[in-house]
Amino acid sequence: MALDERAFFNERPETRQGQYTCPRCRRTNDYAIRWMRRMKKDRPPSGAAEEDRVKYAKARSYLLRLDDEVTCKACGKRFEIPSQQSLMFVDQFEGLPNDEDLEREIAAMSGEPKPGAADAPKTPLPARFTRKSTGWK
Ligand SMILES: [Zn+2]
């Protein structure tokens, strides 16, 4: 009996602000969008069978957007969140120098307004960023 994929992750719901423009009234507002962050555990569940270990090895931490639509704050029309990705792998953001940059990058991809300074110079990877990816790529 194979383990559920969720056994490999620690789940954490979170809310992110997204800025969207209503297609009807053209007003732009900030909306609170629900996401689920699934962070890969440090090791496979104890007692995992071989096939589960393989699955674990392939698993990647990710953010999944739970909301597909928002309700316009100005006119009340429901509209789809335009085109931003609804699933983002956390290792897409590897290489960013610190948590602040990581958060900013995720925010940009999840639809938040960019708080400037997007082209900050890249610095070498700190060990804590490279550590997790070894062994399962
Ligand atoms: Zn509207």
The pLDDT-based confidence of 80 (bands split at 50, 70, 90) is very high
Give the integer Cα–Cα distance in Å for 42 and 59.
11
6 neighbors 51 (Cβ within 8 angstroms): no
Q: What is the CA radius of gyration of the chain?
A: 18
Two tokens, residue 102: 């990581």
Amino acid (1-letter code) at residue 54: V
Average pLDDT over every residue of 87-101: 73
Taking the centre of ligand 1 as the mean of its atom positions, its distance from the CA of residue 29, in whole angstroms, is: 9
Q: In this predicted model, what pLDDT tens digit does every residue of 112-127 receive, in sequence order?
A: 555 544 444 455 555 5
Per-residue pLDDT at 21: 94
Per-residue pLDDT at 85: 79
* Residue 11 pLDDT greater than 90, yes or no: yes
What is the overall mean pLDDT for the chain? 80
Taking the centre of ligand 1 as the mean of its atom positions, its distance from the CA of residue 17, in whole angstroms, is: 17
The residue whose two tokens read 């990877």 is: 125
Taking the centre of ligand 1 as the mean of its atom positions, its distance from the CA of residue 20, in whole angstroms, is: 10
